[in-house]
Amino acid sequence: MNLRIASAILLFTPAWIFAQDAHTAQQAKAAAEAEAAAAAGQPREAGATPDLKALIADPAALDKGRKLFLSQCIDCHGPKGEGSRGPNLAQPNLPRASDDASLLRILRSGIAGTEMPAARLNPGEAPFLAAYVRSLGMIPMETVNGDPAKGAELFRTKGACLTCHAVNGQGMTIGPELTDIGRRRGAAFLRRALVEPGAEVPQNFIAYRTDISLPVNFLFIRAKTKGGKEVAGVRVNEDAFTIQVRDLTGFVHSFEKSELAELKKDKGVSPMPVYAGVFTPTELDDVIAYLVSLKGKK
């Protein structure tokens, strides 16, 4: 080998090794920053929010997100995101995920105090799932048979729904507030809630523990004091020492837990009556059309 060439190689090799080490160090630093960002609830992609619009426009990427959704999300949100035990995702604006960063954070970490867990995702999969969730809001709204005006009348009269529910400040709040129920839940969920209300009660107590404002979070309570007084109704509030229960007349009872001889929390029990035998099929369609029309304040 030419002595000049050999000398050049020997001189270049340490520089090349140094450059490789520097590149490796940069990669390690970037990975550490990404992990730190993920631990802080930020997207893994080096602290930056991925371009979900680009993923939505890519059929292969969107199909990957669809498969992730079908494997993990349909039990709670429905096969098309229309809502079930979880909220309706097929809408342009998600109340808890108004931007892409918050949506990614929810997918990675879940929502504390609710039935929404962290998604079981491999590194790099969250953006694909988030893109598919965003795409659900671009699907045309589902067509609902029925007359909303007739449904509103049935809701107030034959169904007597305002004795437990409130709409635009009218009615009782024993059950969920329904002013914006059409934005939070789809028609399929609402139909199940009317004909089989127990099916939509949370299946575990996670959603009952800390966030009592959730639409589905209406835990049915049976309390008995040491003096023999018995109360059944929906929990309004609870802490370590007290509990407040609204009975089915709307009256709120407050108890010190120390004065209770019995406190039973009925998992899977709903005080909602079954309306399959109350409304005819046509009337049921009308009531559902009315509920779907309730979108809250514009």
Please provide the DSSP assignment of 105-136 as one string: HHHHH--TTSS-PPP---TT-HHHHHHHHHHH
In CATH, what number does 219-266 get?
Answer: 2.30.30.100
Distance, in Å, from the CA atom of 280 to the CA atom of 102, rounded to the nearest integer, reads 43
Q: How far apart are CA 155 and CA 147, in angstroms?
A: 12
**Helix, strand or coil, per DSSP, at residue 280:** coil
pLDDT at 93: 82
CA atoms within 13 A on the CB side of 200: 28
Q: Show the DSSP H helices in the chain as ranges.
A: 3-39, 52-56, 59-72, 74-77, 100-109, 126-136, 148-156, 181-184, 187-195, 206-209, 281-293
What CATH fold (topology level) applies to the domain 52-136?
Answer: Cytochrome Bc1 Complex; Chain D, domain 2 (1.10.760)
pLDDT digits (tens, 9 = 90+) for 224-261: 999 999 998 888 888 889 999 888 777 889 999 999 99
Can you say whether the dihedral through the CA atoms of 94, 95, 96, 100 is positive or negative? positive
* 219-266 shares the fold of 52-136: no
Contact between residue 157 and residue 290 where contact means Cβ atoms under 8 Å apart? no
Give the pair of three-digit tokens for residue 25: 């160090």
**Measured between alpha carbons, how far is residue 241 from residues 140, 236, 254, 259 in Å?**
48, 14, 11, 10
pTM above 0.75, yes or no: no
Report the DSSP beta bridge partners of residue 27: none
pLDDT score for 46: 42
* Non-local CB neighbours of 156 within 8 Å, separated by 6+ positions: 162
C-alpha distances in angstroms, 149 versus 12, 152, 173, 203, 285?
A: 82, 5, 23, 34, 11
pLDDT (0 to 100) of residue 290: 95
**116-120, 225-229, 263-267, 287-291: which has the minimum mean pLDDT?**
263-267
Residue where the block lists tokens 């929010």: 49
Cα–Cα distance measured from residue 271 to residue 220, given in angstroms and rounded to the nearest whole number? 7
Mean pLDDT within 100-117: 87
pLDDT of residue 155: 95
At residue 12, φ and ψ (nearest 5 deg) are: -75, -35
Half-sphere exposure of 54 (CA within 13 A, CB side): 4
Res 267: pLDDT: 65
Q: What is the pLDDT of residues 73-90, one digit of tens each?
A: 887 787 888 776 677 888
Average pLDDT over residues 184-198: 83
> How, if at all, do strands 220-225 and 230-238 pair?
antiparallel
Is residue 225 exposed (0-12), middle (13-18) or buried (19+ Cβ within 10 Å)?
middle
Q: What is the mean pLDDT of residues 36-49?
A: 47
**For residue 218, which of 266, 163, 283 has the smallest C-alpha distance?**
266
Structure tokens at 96: 């808890």
Residue 222 forms beta bridges with which residues? 232, 264
Domain edges within the chain = 52-136, 219-266
